[in-house]
Amino acid sequence: MPRLVMKFGGTSVATIDRIRNVARHVLRERKAGFDIAVVVSAMSGKTNELVGWCKEASPLYDPSEYDAVVASGEQVTAGLLALVLRDMGLPARSWQGWQVPIHTSDAHAAARIVSIDGKNLIEGFEARQEIAVITGFQGIHEPTQRITTLGRGGSDTSAVAVAAAIGAERCDIYTDVDGVYTTDPRVVPKAKRLDKIAFEEMLEMASLGAKVLQVRSVELAMLHKVKTFVRSSFDDPETPRPGTLICDEEDIVEQQVVTGIAFSRDEAQITLRRVSDHPGVAAAIFMPLAEANINVDMIIQVASADHATDITFTVPGTEFERAQQILYKAQSQIGFSNLQGTTDMVKVSAIGVGMRSHAGVAARAFKALSDKGINIRAITTSEIKFSILIEAAYTELAVRTLHTLYGLDQP
């Protein structure tokens, strides 16, 4: 039989009633003739509770023991769903990440999947017609035999990786929304659900603020060509909506110039004034930040004739204070006169593979934003997107302006 992976997030399994609803979705696909692996998250709020307990037990907790604790949330969900499925007369068993096995690196709380052996799951399909209910978000570091976790949102990555390992026909990611939208409907009520979106576009949207999927799950799907649907678990299991298909660009017949508008409120801007303009200064600034695992995004350098330069860049808002401390410690090596910064910034991005073949896409946006009185602090571009940094107060106005400009309001 063809194989299918179904992933359900925390809100989808928040109560026993919702777990029963999940089971009805699984039953529908079993009746459609699929061998099924279900990947589940912890029940809504449970991971936060477990993290809180770890911090209460030991403020400077050991990362490996932290993973052992927080991984237990998914174990509970997997067992409960297997019980409900068996009560419905469906053969099912729960699997923990280490039992599959899902092998990962040893970066506890942020591990990366190294390999998955799908042999045991496939044997369960073929020998016992068994539905595999797998704990998302976790795996095992083989040399140390310690449980690891993949970071927040890691169940998406688990699901796509399992789909690749067992040769699944597709991977359905069930969430509390019915697909991927042109932008956040809470900001733009006219936002539309997309029928299809290219892997590259989804990767950009996920990395630029859209919360629908974890970035690494999209990377894996693109690498292994796993067709992935984003669907709603709150639909009627008997008549679910199709959701949004994430697929190869070639599978989309008619591509818009701009597919979506994403935004990220968690942005901070740092400017180093009168930095000595000589070889190695950029490394002196950005290497200490990289070593501290602080992600630097937009970078602008403005040189002057007197061998001094101003360098502006952005970091996550949560890392603003730590980044400042690191830079002040390195001030003598960098040679800047003073540091200025603010956290009241937002990054707004327009994404679309159609930008490759159309000129002036970003220029139109700059003109439209200027007409609305919105000042742009920084700009970055790539082949299929551009991003601007603006004051947070103008977020909604900028998003709505761009959404209308590129025709995304149209039915």
- Mark the binding-site residues for substrate, compressed into ranges: 47, 74
Q: Binding site for ATP, residues? A: 7-10, 175-176, 181, 186, 211-212
- Cβ neighbours for 77, distance < 8 A, ≥ 6 positions apart: 13, 19, 40, 41, 42, 43, 135
Residue 264 forms beta bridges with which residues?
347
Q: Which of 276, 360, 374, 271 is nearest to 324 (CA)?
A: 271
User: CB neighbours (10 Å) of residue 107?
Assistant: 14
SS (H, E, C) the chain: CCEEEEEECHHHHCCHHHHHHHHHHHHHHHHCCCEEEEEECCCCCHHHHHHHHHHHHCCCCCHHHHHHHHCHHHHHHHHHHHHHHHHCCCCEEEECHHHCCEEECCCCCCCCEEEECCHHHHHHHHHHCCEEEEECCEEEECCCCEEEECCCCHHHHHHHHHHHHHCCCEEEEEECCCCCECCCCCCCCCCCECCEEEHHHHHHHHHCCCCCCCHHHHHHHHHHCCCEEEEECCCCCCCCCCCEEEECHHHCCCCCCCCEEEEEEEEEEEEEEEEECCCCHHHHHHHHHHHCCCCCCCEEEEECCCCEEEEEEEEEHHHHHHHHHHHHHCHHHHCCCEEEEEEEEEEEEEECHHHHHCCCHHHHHHHHHHHCCCCCCEEEEECCEEEEEEEHHHHHHHHHHHHHHCCCCCC
Supply φ then ψ for residue 45, to 5 degrees.
90, -15
Q: Binding site, residues? A: 7-10, 47, 74, 175-176, 181, 186, 211-212
